[in-house]
Structure 1
Amino acid sequence: MKKLLALPLVAAALIVGASPAMAGPPEDAAGTWEYQVIPGSVVPRTAGNNTFIAAAEDGQFTGTFEGWSYDTFSLICHRKAPDVVDINVKGDIYFTGDVMDQSGTLTMRFVGKMTSTNCGPADGATWTGTWTIIDGGGELADVHGHGTWTGPAYHLTYAGQVHVS
């Protein structure tokens, strides 16, 4: 009987003494995100001073994220004046590649904005926005992170932090 009582105490001691699972420390993330809109994927619709566009693009990441992506996004262009258009974008990045020496897939959500002279990239116009990892697969299943992105259309840089939970 004493042996039966000791068993739960030993199990409790092992549980209390076990090391808790902890997330790794955040690491800085930085690199480039270059993309190209897929021909034929652009679907525009206009209502008043607003143009709504749904489209897809292929991307390539270098730096902390090393790999390729297929991205879907939607734009809202609001014409404020004949040569001033505010553009807002939101979308999802479906990334396949490596992050911190781990391979797999990530889904990232991004949002951003730009002021241009038309409903599209113009010389001198710069995108600014944020990205957040929302899901992962393979060795990237436990990778989390968020950050910012900026640059002229098609040639962006990103920065932020990533960590493994």
Structure 2
Amino acid sequence: MKRLLTIPLVTCALLMGAAPALAGPPSDAEGDWTYFLTGLDFRDAGNTTFAYGTEHSFFEGTFEGEADDDFVVVCHLKHTGMYLTSVHGTIDFTGSVEGQEGTMLMRFVGKQTSTVCGPSDAVWEGTWTVVDGAGDLADVHGHGTWTGPSFDLDYAGQIHFD
């Protein structure tokens, strides 16, 4: 009976003595995110238009590199003549973050109100989140905001490495 109790007690002691996984300290991330469209397909459904697209992006600042992005824009025409527009997509980034080279996958969401369903000078506002990485970016994590008119955005947030 003593032997049966020893195994769980030793296992528990080993687990309690294990060093906890620690993340590095967070640091600020900021810079420019510019892009150009590489494909766009519109589909209408009543007062709502769906735009399925791809783009090629350039990042400067904390993120230095390029990306290929997939996204869906949803424009809903209100009775006021304004479009309530939302976007969600993924960013497949290749480059460096704080000098560390690799790739990372980010997700983004955003919204704007505009008089058109398409690129405009209206300001977009949204968020981004790092969801995966490889190479030296395998342990990067982060999230933040982005804002600006179509094609010329600013990003800000925080990142850290495990």
Match of 1:126 in 2: 123
After TM superposition, the score normalised by the length of structure 1 is 0.86
Match of 1:74 in 2: 72
**2:104 partner letter:** L
Taking the TM superposition and a 5 Å limit, the aligned residue runs for 1:75-114 are 75-81=73-79, 83-114=81-112
Query: 1:83 Cα deviation (Å)?
Result: 3.3
Q: Deviation digits for residues 74-104 of structure 1, max 9, x if unmatched?
A: 0100001363111100000000000011000
In the alignment, the residues of structure 2 paired with residue 85 and residue 117 of structure 1 have an alpha-carbon distance, to the nearest angstrom, of: 6
1:140 aligns with 2:137: yes
In the alignment, the residues of structure 2 paired with residue 119 and residue 73 of structure 1 have an alpha-carbon distance, to the nearest angstrom, of: 15
Match of 1:3 in 2: none
1:153 aligns with 2:144: no
In the alignment, the residues of structure 2 paired with residue 43 and residue 30 of structure 1 have an alpha-carbon distance, to the nearest angstrom, of: 31
RMSD: 1.8
Structure 1 unmatched ranges of 5 or more: 1-8
After TM superposition, the score normalised by the length of structure 2 is 0.87
Query: 1:122 Cα deviation (Å)?
Result: 2.4
Query: 1:21 Cα deviation (Å)?
Result: 3.7
Consecutive aligned runs of 4 or more in structure 1 exceeding 6 Å deviation: none
In the alignment, the residues of structure 2 paired with residue 147 and residue 90 of structure 1 have an alpha-carbon distance, to the nearest angstrom, of: 15
Paired residues in the alignment total: 150
In the alignment, the residues of structure 2 paired with residue 57 and residue 135 of structure 1 have an alpha-carbon distance, to the nearest angstrom, of: 20
In the alignment, the residues of structure 1 paired with residue 26 and residue 113 of structure 2 have an alpha-carbon distance, to the nearest angstrom, of: 33
